Structure 1
Amino acid sequence: MAHLHDIVVDAAHPASAARFWAAALDDYAVAPYDDTELARLRSLGIDSPEDDPTVLLEPASGGPRLWFQLVPEQKQLKNRVHLDVRAADPEAETLRLTALGASVRARHDDHTVLADPEGNEFCLFPLTP
């Protein structure tokens, strides 16, 4: 039986996308860059984590990791897979997420469709009791 390990998101600028999602999601943080990782980047001709072609978000407590990987092409169509997130106060969370750079794409009775700064759609639902 397979177990979900990572969710991978294509990005034009992985570091920026990862920072958005680290700020958007509770208990997620960009994985730290230790000396070994910095040396690996330098061996690839990359001088800064800002230009890292694969940036990892790690959950503090369980859940899948999120990888943001560099792709040369721009997003063109609707996502085939998207993230669903929940919040106790969806309206306040919508305001917080848009302040981080998200945009509202559609509002429905039970959820809001947003897009991250790179245009990847995700849905915001209220917490259910």
Structure 2
Amino acid sequence: MHRIMLREVIIDAPAKAFDAVTAFWSGALAATPHPVPDEPFTALRDAASLPHVATQDIGDDPTPRYHLDIETDDLEAEIARLEGLGATVRTRYDDYAVMADPVGLVFCLLPPVSEEFEARAKTV
């Protein structure tokens, strides 16, 4: 048994539209944008939302989309569990994985880093 928790909703935006998308979602969610140093992310702090929300610069990829970040305290077990539900691994890194659901929607599995994990994660 291990634990999981939806950590974040990521709004992926092509580089050409990134500033406009960040400005839009910051305004739409009454949030303050905070670029993450040395990362392609801008955290939308104090957003009117329960999960964390961020924008991500996806470079030259022209496909805007949303993706979910799911925290887990056992990456290998969660990959196996989700593969059993029909997901596939798109890219595997040392400490996280990019996966796709059965229809191809992308999401990420990450180690726990949020303050809420201990209190809100569910055992699966």
Category of TM-score, reference length = shorter chain: 0.3 to 0.5
Q: What TM-score do you get using the length of structure 1 for normalisation?
A: 0.40
Which protein shows a greater Rg?
1
Q: What TM-score do you get using the length of structure 2 for normalisation?
A: 0.41
User: When you count strand as a share of all residues, which structure comes out higher?
Assistant: 2
